[in-house]
Structure 1
């Protein structure tokens, strides 16, 4: 599936091949990606394991961000389970969370992330009741991107990162 954001950007499904996994792995080596997305550098095998099970998955749906015919990052959405909705005090049932990263730093600061988040959020709101972004509170650029995309701050929450460390996250929402 392809989703066209605008004349320069489209989103495509990830594919199950070595070239795709190498691309994702290289992006995950970027300090800004592992600092806020994974909190550590993933091995190649971990990247393959993580994304292979998401190919064709409708519960966790990743897309490659393509800007002017160049793959530059990833955006994904995941249906929020009842446990997370309760933990965050969200009363609606049909809720998704989104994640995004630009893996190629030469494309930082061009507004691409904001354009993608605006588009994917509008797309998701046609299918779900609410879109949540769960962002580390120290990740000012992602929080600002969400605010520019129309999200509102919901609250700060205690959260455990992928390493099990306690952190503060900012929940932002759009409905």
Structure 2
């Protein structure tokens, strides 16, 4: 009887822990994308400022900051390589028709070691006519810093961060 009671308590504990695990995993999957990404080396934060320059052109300023406690090597935000842009209208991704760079593996000069609190910034012009904009309106520009599958012989933080902001576009046709 004592053994049966003990087995029932263990079974209840396993069930409770399983349910907690399921809730934690489901909670992580359902969370909105954040700008802070943990890694074995620390935590980085991405900030994006988008400024209209006219004629469907926007200046996109991207800042990557080490908000962790240890130094870490990061890939520079390089347009079309580690810095990707997507345009959405009503949650539908528009077809990209802009320039496509020649891709080469990253070299050490395309990475940088950031000490805790240190940041790096890059600015790029994004032309909304790179997408199939057929009518004027409000769109969502997604700016992604993606280093997960970037070819390189240099070891650096592998991550993905996306920030979306509204932009106003005119028809490109």
> Of Structure 1 and Structure 2, which has the larger fraction of its residues in helix?
1
Normalized per residue, which structure has more strand? 2
Measured against the shorter chain, the TM-score band is under 0.3
Query: Which has the higher Rg, Structure 1 or Structure 2?
Result: 2
TM-score (norm 2): 0.27
Larger RCO, structure (CA 8 Å, separation 6 or more): 2
Structure-1-length-normalised TM-score: 0.26
